[in-house]
Amino acid sequence: MIYLDNQATTPLAPEARDAMLKWLDTAEGSGFGNPHSPHRMGRMAGAAIDFAREQVAGLLPPGGTVHFTGSACEAINLAMRGAGGDGPISVSAIEHAAVYETAEALGRRHLLNVAANGQCNTSQSLPQGTRLVCVMQVNNEIGTIQPTVEWHRKAKEHNALFLCDAVQSYGKMEVTGADMIAISAHKIYGPKGIGALWVRHGLELDPQITGGLQEGYRSGTLSTALVAGFGAAAAVAKERMDDDADHAEKLWTRARAMFASNWALNGDEDTRLHANLNVRRSGLDVARLMSECRDVMFSAGSACASGSGKTSHVLKAIGLSDEQAKSSIRIGWGRYTTMEQLETGVAAILDAANGQ
């Protein structure tokens, strides 16, 4: 099988796997102890978590604390629900469902418009009394980079907090400043089941899961193995960031050339991470295409919403019709994708599409 869906998840880095194995061992004297226990084994595990926290923080701005969560979705919910207040929550129209639907569930969602190129610019006004602004740094479906520095500045001018979903940017580019930043391990070649919320020093949140508050704002025993894997993945991402970007650029150039004929690009050509390609073709039957390309792993949009049958709210927000959105596909490559894999996978997709 050829894997071209790296925005949905990434394979586990060998370094992350090695870091995890030590803490999965049940042999006597190993590190399976509860990291919150005061005895020797607990302190060993706790020290590993402290070390991983520093590794994860190494890819984030200074002046904040990393709080581990079960996922980026949980981190986002902790930020949005824990920030308190009754004012509107302004979110870009292309936010991940974790932000988009949480703001709706809280009953105070205000949508910020996004241009056809996938950019959410700061020329638009915020509602009076806005308490929270949420703009992701890199979109998970179309890869466009948002002006988060400017949105952070605008939020401060309105005495509002700024939350940045950095799930797709973390480990791939510099993460810009915010009051709160949500990240996930499995998007940077770490394990699933572990995320984090970075919180600016001086900002207090209301816990949403009570019962021990082992992570300050979050209750529950941490998995030393998952945290260690996250830390190792972050350390490798920091070391390899330039090399990973160069590799992604080469694959982008080749994929872009292969999809040049009869395919339209969704989102801006340049102001994006060149790690994925979201393209559409008139009349394309995506369900049939995926059935005919069962050995090539690609996507029709966000993995979190792919089973809902709903048209992508991201593609509709940039002006695509339902028909255009439903004839779009996303392919994404990463650190371990070879040029041969990309070419073989894309060729199979193109052959199947041309046969429709």
Domain containing 127 — which CATH number? 3.40.640.10
Residues 204 and 76 in one domain: yes
Q: What is the pTM of this model?
A: 0.95
Q: Are residues 101 and 172 in the same domain?
A: yes
CA triplet 281, 285, 291: central angle to 5 degrees? 125
> Which of 73, 164, 293, 304 is an active site residue?
304
Q: Of 236, 258, 283, which marks where a domain is finished?
A: 236
- Residues 253, 170 share a domain: no
pLDDT at 32: 86
Within this chain, do residues 106 and 216 fall inside the same structural domain, yes or no? yes
pLDDT at residue 306, rounded to an integer: 53
Same domain, 184 and 278: no
Q: Which of 342, 246, 273 is nearest to 4 (CA)?
A: 342
> Structural domain of residue 309, as residue ranges?
2-7+240-355
Are both 221 and 250 inside the same structural domain?
A: no
Last residue of a domain, one of 207, 236, 265: 236
- How many structural domains does the chain have? 2
- The reply to whether 304 belongs to the active site is yes
CB 206 within 8 A of CB 82: yes
Q: Are residues 123 and 92 in the same domain?
A: yes
What is the Cα–Cα distance from 99 to 76, expressed in whole angstroms? 7
Query: Looking at residue 44, what is its pLDDT?
Result: 92
Same domain, 55 and 85: yes
Q: Do both 185 and 248 map to the same domain?
A: no
DSSP string over 112-171: EP--TTS---TTSPPPTT--EEE--SB-TTT-BBP-HHHHHHHHHHTT-EEEEE-TTTTT
Residues 47 and 104 in one domain: yes
Helix (H, G, I), strand (E, B) or coil at 92: strand
Confidence at residue 23, expressed as pLDDT on a 0 to 100 scale: 92
What the block records as the tokens of 329 is: 């596909």
Do 84 and 121 fall within a single domain? yes
- Separation of alpha carbons 85 and 77, rounded Å: 14
Q: Which of 206, 236, 266 is the endpoint of a domain?
A: 236
CATH number at residue 264: 3.90.1150.10
CA distances to 54, 108, 165, 341 from 64, rounded to whole Å, are: 11, 27, 15, 40
Low-confidence ranges of the chain (pLDDT < 50): none
Note the pLDDT tens digit of each residue in 309-337.
Answer: 688 999 999 999 999 999 999 999 999 99
Do 230 and 334 reside in the same domain of the chain?
no
